[in-house]
Amino acid sequence: MVGCPLGCPLFLATLLPTASQARQRSTGGAPFLAPARKNSAFQFQLRTLENDLYMKKNGHDPREFSAPVVDGPERAFSRGMLYAVGFKKEDFKKPIIGVASTWSEVTPCNVHIDKLAREVVQGVEGAAGKSITFNTITVSDGISMGTEGMKYSMVSREIIADSIEAVSAAEGFDGVVAVGGCDKNMPGCLIALARLNRPSVFVYGGTILPGCLNGRNLDIVSIFEAVGAHSSGKISDQELEAVESCAIPGPGSCGGMYTANTMASAIEALGMSLPNSSAQAAISEEKLADCRSAGAAVLNLIKRGIRPSDILSKESFENAMTVAIALGGSTNAVLHLLAIAHAAGVRLKLDDWTRIGKRVPVLADLKPSGRYTMWELVQIGGIIPMMKILLQEGLLHGDCLTVSGKTLKQNLAPVKPYPKGQEIIRPLKNPIKPESHLVVLYGNLAPEGAVAKISGKEGLSFSGVARVFESEEKALRAILDDKIKKGDVIVIRFEGPKGGPGMREMLSPTSAIMGKGLGKEVALITDGRFSGGSHGFVIGHVTPEAFVGGPLAVVKNGDPISIDAEKRTIDLKISKAELQERLKAWKPPKPKYPRGVLAKYAGQVKPASLGAVTD
């Protein structure tokens, strides 16, 4: 297939701007050509006049939200403030577009987004709008994983959503372009755009290129699994250092079909980003053009009066779910799409994943359970040829409107098929798995549901005995110290939305399991969640969670547990009377955080089965 794209020096990131150019295969035209970087004042005025006349003729006020902020003598102080940040007199007659940048040096996923935001600005102002760029936060799951810091990850989704909503509403933006690159940026941005319901486009920051060591492609999960291999004595200190120094060569989101690439793909299928925005390298000319096109697209949405509420429907969420399943995506897609639907006022339920999953196969042979990276999928055309296949088979709703101003079917019409001989996306007649790998389970351990990621490679059922741990750290230590044996069902509890609080991801223990060679020998159950990089026989989102008295709270060491992905069940094999007796005797623990943002989150958050939303 595709070999290592680059060599392996530690500071390889400095080569990225030239190394990735012209690597991506064209797959059909974008709905907007990237606007020129410079336009004359006359062109600006002409476009502004034409847009205003068109919109007013069609009943759309292009400055619905900005006019009350900047028009009239009584708003002189507002204009005075904006003159100071670069506005000119003519800018006050243009639609004002907020460019929400998630740039920071916290993580490679977002380190380049300031440059992408500047390209969005070019697109906005080339289409006769006026931009205002502002920032929101990010946290790095990859850095904080396995520590107390990871408890802030899900919390950050809410902070991102709240901050984008607050700035955009307070400043009177007529439209918004949000640029996100890490796991919580994307759903956070979409939650905000749904709440605001103003013409909006989302731009994905793009995937990282794979690292390379001895001819083998690496990514972040390679490091986590190397830790497990190192603890088993399978690799040396020097070999571990070689992996960690080469696996992440520069900017971009983690390179498998992990949460970032899953959510980017789902958002594109949802209709909230431009075609193929989800399948471009972070450092590429294609991504820069995508940003400029998004800036122009938001002005077109304003012109036509198209808002997120016109795009976000039950059918569009079904499209997003279908694409996430076909790509073998992250369990986090379940949480995040439930949350985005909640913000959009669309009734989406946990059981919808079962309904859709029964008819949608897994087609993509992508990491973590597969062989290939997102960068390699980019080389053969990204996700849109796969979407066209799904559409032709009646698995997507083609009439759903998108931010291009066209329907999904219209967007996909010019898309060319994948090149012959590619092995990344399987044909429908020969899928990796005939039904979804994202399996919703019920039983006496999860009366309100749990979410399993079952690729089929680990088997479809598991029975064993419980090994109970009250935190992720304690479970990880037991795995690394060889205290977990074949047939164990690792139970990690009090890691749910309220109990953590924050519902930490369990990439450290799941990667340690794989690194120890126990991927097919043990199962893991938690009321926390999993990184998109997790694989193995893993079940998360157990609801009700242990902290609120869910059955997980009363599991004891040695209890028999049975999991059946085909029957969609998860059960503690003790009598109903004994389970009720244990639950009756159980007493709730004290909250771990009495104040601060984690305490606020724990007090407001709803169950994982409802998307762990806070409103």
At 51 the pLDDT is 55
Residue 161 in contact with residue 192, Cβ under 8 Å?
A: yes
- Going 557 to 559 to 560 to 562, the CA torsion angle's sign is negative
pLDDT tens-digit map of 327-382: 999 999 999 999 999 999 999 999 999 999 999 999 999 998 899 999 999 999 99
Alpha helices in 60-184 (DSSP H): 67-70, 76-83, 113-126, 141-144, 152-171
Q: Does 433 score more than 60 pLDDT?
A: yes
Residues 6+ positions from 247 with CB-CB distance below 8 Å: 211, 213, 218, 219, 220, 222, 223
Share of the chain above pLDDT 70, in %: 90
Instruction: Give the strand pairing for 175-180 and 96-101.
Output: parallel
Mean pLDDT of 243-262: 93
pLDDT for residue 60: 73
Report the range of poorest mean pLDDT among 48-62, 154-168, 402-416, 423-437. Answer: 48-62
pLDDT of residue 567: 96
85 φ, ψ (degrees, to nearest 5):
-105, 15
8 Å CB contact between 391 and 398: yes
Using pLDDT thresholds of 50, 70 and 90, give the confidence band for residue 50.
low
Count Cβ atoms below 10 Å from residue 583 Cβ, excluding itself: 13
Q: Is 81 helix (H, G, I), strand (E, B) or coil?
A: helix
pLDDT above 70 for 279: yes
3-class DSSP state for residue 445? coil
Per the annotation, the verdict on 531 as an active-site residue is yes
The type of residue at 19 is A
CA separation for the pair 327, 437 (Å, rounded):
10
Task: Give the span between the Cα atoms of 401 and 311, in whole angstroms.
Answer: 5
**Residue 184 pLDDT > 60, yes or no?**
yes
Measured in whole angstroms, the distance separating CA 161 from the mean position of its chain's CA atoms is 14
Q: What is the DSSP string of 299-368?
A: HHHHHHT--HHHH--HHHHHHHHHHHHHTT--THHHHHHHHHHHHHT----HHHHHHHHTT--B-B-BTT
What integer is the mean pLDDT of 106-111? Answer: 96
In the prediction, which pLDDT does 53 show? 55
How many Cβ atoms are within 10 Å of 540's Cβ, its own excluded?
29
Mean pLDDT of 437-441: 96
Question: Residue 278: pLDDT above 70?
Answer: yes
Report the 10 Å Cβ neighbour count for 473.
16
Provide the pLDDT for residue 24: 33
Lowest mean per-residue pLDDT among 181-185, 313-317, 336-340: 181-185
Burial class (CB in 10 A: 0-12, 13-18, 19+), 248: buried
Q: Is the pLDDT of residue 257 over 90?
A: yes
- What's the pLDDT tens digit per position in 501-527? 999 998 889 888 988 889 889 999 999
Residue-level pLDDT at 39: 42
Mean pLDDT (whole number) for 246-252:
93
Taking the C-alpha atoms of residue 172 and residue 613, their distance in angstroms, rounded to an integer, is 26
pLDDT at 35 > cutoff 80: no
Question: pLDDT tens across 5-34, in order?
Answer: 544 433 333 333 333 333 333 333 333 333
Nearest 5°: the CA angle 155, 265, 504 is 25
What integer pLDDT is reported at residue 15 of this predicted model?
34
The string of pLDDT tens digits covering residues 588-598 is: 999 999 999 99
DSSP code for 419: P
**Tens-digit pLDDT profile for residues 200-231:** 999 999 999 988 888 888 888 888 888 888 88
Integer Cα distance of 563 and 572 in angstroms: 9
Picking from 471, 520, 466, the residue whose alpha carbon sits closest to that of residue 492 is 471
Mean pLDDT computed over every residue of the chain:
90
Count of C-beta atoms within a 10 Å radius of residue 47: 18
Average pLDDT over residues 234-259: 93
User: Which residues are paired to 467 by β-bridges?
Assistant: 490
pLDDT of residue 532: 78
pTM of the model: 0.90
Which of the residues 20, 66, 131, 531 is marked catalytic?
Answer: 531
> Facing residues of 519 across strands?
none
> What pLDDT does residue 31 have?
36
pLDDT at 519: 87
For CA atoms 126, 127, 130, 134, the dihedral sign is negative
pLDDT at 487 over 90: yes
For residue 40, is pLDDT > 50? no
| Cβ neighbours around 73 below 10 Å, total | 6
**Looking at residues 587-609, what average pLDDT do you find?**
96
Residue-level pLDDT at 490: 97
DSSP symbol at 552: G
Radius of gyration of the chain (CA): 24
Q: Of all residues in the chain, what percent carry a pLDDT higher than 90?
A: 80
Rounded to whole angstroms, how far apart are CA atoms 609 and 544?
9
Among 104-108, 232-236, 329-333, 406-410, name the one with the lowest average pLDDT.
232-236
